[in-house]
A = this chain, B = another copy of it.
Amino acid sequence: MTVAEVAAEVGASRRTVLRDISALRDEGFIIHTDPGRGGGLRLDPGSIQTTVRFSVIEVFALLISVETMRAAGNLPFSSLADAGLAKLEKALPSDKVRDLRRFLDCLYIGKMAPQVDLSDLGTMDPELLPAFETAFLQHQYLRFQYRDAKGSVTRREVEPQAMLILPPVWYLVAWDPDRNDFRHFRMDRIRQPECIEDRFFRRRYVPFKEQVSQVRRM
């Protein structure tokens, strides 16, 4: 298109369109121009940028998802996804980036344990991530309802110490003060999670043995 055509289309003057083009170039759009008779404007489609607005927790969820995928060695087209990730992370306020790092420090990934029963694999409670965010970062106790493999439901009150992924199952690794030992809880079996103001200290969690690596970032 020529500048005059664009101006007619949007109902602005030639001068304004030229100014807008200059502004768009400053914003990163790549617009080729050909002067002279038969010339005009060409917008590089690859340079089109779309604007997305996220809440902080959404960025958090996306980053954790993709980081986990990377840790599983399963991130395709990584340099492009990386660029997107970098933008996501840059969008987070700096204190939230610190939180994210600390959260990822608690995240471990391993191979699937072959003997796990997947027939009843459910979805996680939507409140789980916000609850984890508080529980892990503030070292607060977590109280929840847990349905074990046999179907019996109990109420637990534990110290969240780590998260363990044995794809496709996610586990909460927590110190159970009642039983004085670590326990693994399948996240899809947790309901009604809530944090308790009381604080605890972090314990040393040694994941099973080999075959488990930490989802680290930078």
Contact = CB atoms under 8 A, between A and B. Distances in A.
Interface string A37-74: 00000000111111111111111111011101100111
A72 B124 contact: no
Contacts of A76: 61, 64-65, 68, 124, 129, 165, 170, 187
A152 interface: no
Contacts of A168: 72-74
Main SS class of interface, A: helix
A170 to B, nearest CB: 5
A81 interface: yes
Contacts of A177: none
A204 interface: no
Contacts of A124: 76-79
A85 B69 CA distance: 15
Nearest to A90: B52
A50 B121 CA distance: 33
A154 to B, nearest CB: 23
B123 A52 contact: no
Interface core residue of A49, A51, A76, A83 (most chain B CB under 10 Å): A76
A17 interface: no
B79 A59 contact: no
Interface of A: 28, 45-62, 64-66, 68-69, 72-81, 83-85, 87-88, 90-93, 121, 123-124, 126, 128-130, 165, 167-168, 170, 187
Given A48-B93, A51-B53, A76-B124, 7 more contacts: A48-B55, A50-B92, A52-B54, A53-B87, A54-B84, A61-B83, A66-B69
